[in-house]
Structure 1
Amino acid sequence: MIFVSCDKDDDPVDTTAPTITLEEPENGEVFKADETIHFDALFEDDIELATFNLTIHDNFDGHSHGRTMVAPFTFDQSFPLTGKVDDIHEEIEIGAEATAGPYHFIVEAIDAAGNSTTFADNSSIELEIWVTNTGMAHVHFEDANGNEVAEYDGTVGEALKFYGEIEDEVGMLDHVEIKVGHLEEAAEHDHDHARTLEEAIYEGDFEVEGETSVRIEDLLSQDQANIIVTQEELDELEEEEHLYLIVIAEDEDGNISRHSIEIHFD
């Protein structure tokens, strides 16, 4: 007679963290205050899922220049998961008074055995989204005659000329950054949205405290900017990447807005 014993040690040991496939939001996506963020993600584990945590907090460091935000948007909540595969959809409300600017969007998960995703191995997800509101500064890109334009035309090796107005219709401006670089959504959610060249072709910082409106060309003239793009710099761009004029404006209330326009080269 053969006796077979049941030993718990024969049960599979779960040492693998869950995986997360994030469908929405996309890296760099823009949302309006008082609207919702649709969250769509697929969670998978080899044995049993448990929970996931979703965190949203401001990413204003390096942009805020010491300003205090009026009402930064924050969200931190855990949700249950079941089974080996769980497709989750949630609607996240953004407060009507949320400060405009960039925010970190973070997703982490843990399984029933206690294995959790980490940032070290990229199994946790961290990306950047932007929130806009009606009080933030706006930019009107123009040509030399004051007509609004959808893109700028440039010639390799020749100085670029930019025109336009940066205005705050409900308050006052505080700080403006003007850059020429590339601005593309990363193909993967790798917290790399709005990546620019390692060294931007041009970058200028301007204190405009107390102003309600400033001109792009005046700021560039003040900086004695001579912005020239070489063929070598264009060749550094990956496929589907383009050069942009990027304007980041902060107002006295801490709202940060980013506006960009493509620079087209023949």
Structure 2
Amino acid sequence: MTTTTSYTKKPFASSILLWVRTDQPRQTGMDYWKGPHSKIISPTPGFDEYRQIHLAETNPGLWPATPGVETTIPVDRRIDGVAEVTFQSALSPLLGRKQTRLAYKDEINVFRRTLLYAGPPNSTRWYDVAGPGEKTGARALVYLRRREGVGTRPFRKFVTDELVPALAKTGVLTELRTQVFMPWNKKLWDTPDVAHDNPADQRFHASLMLGFADASALRAFFDSDGVKKLSGPLSAVASAAHAYELSDALTYVKGGKILPHYER
């Protein structure tokens, strides 16, 4: 299997973290997002890819306990899903403003809190880690919080030059995508009637999407000595590593085209 850390793409992307309403069954909200809400979002001009990341309802945190790092996901901030948007260019968000306004109005039907994280161009990277014919059967999404006193540049350098090569060299990943975020700004996604509270000590600064052949490979990875060894260097730059298990990853737009049916 390849252990190269060459990237296949450096797209312009953003992620919207989502919490479904609690006045109805969680699955009702997840199904609405998967169905009616996706039909509003998918036709947005300028999309290269639109993927819904459905996070498992039970998610205490997959990352192994690490001194000085919050690896247990707080129940009151546990994310339900993430809208992963990849644009055709840095100007694409301007093309989709009309459609985006329709999504704004629909958020109240399904979500209670939404937070947008974006990065500058070239800060998102998709890496080529899968062997020939390998498919992804399970995924984990890891959010990292930069340790106070650590600068953006050293943090980004650690993610790109140390963490990514170490993850790739494990030889078990079938997917590896990284995002390093700009400072969070509420004005980028200040939608009506939905909460956007995001205290400074709860914000994230990077994410990792990790793909595996199946759920057993995912669990073996997080139980491995390799991940434990990564935790030492990670603790020097990060104060939190929230590793979520996914229940589904659904792609609605791919290569700039709306798919007739979502792909897993």
- TM-score by length of structure 1 reads 0.21
Say which one has the larger Rg.
1
More strand by share: 1
Work out which structure has the larger RCO, using CA pairs closer than 8 Å and 6 or more positions apart in sequence: 2
Higher helix share: 2
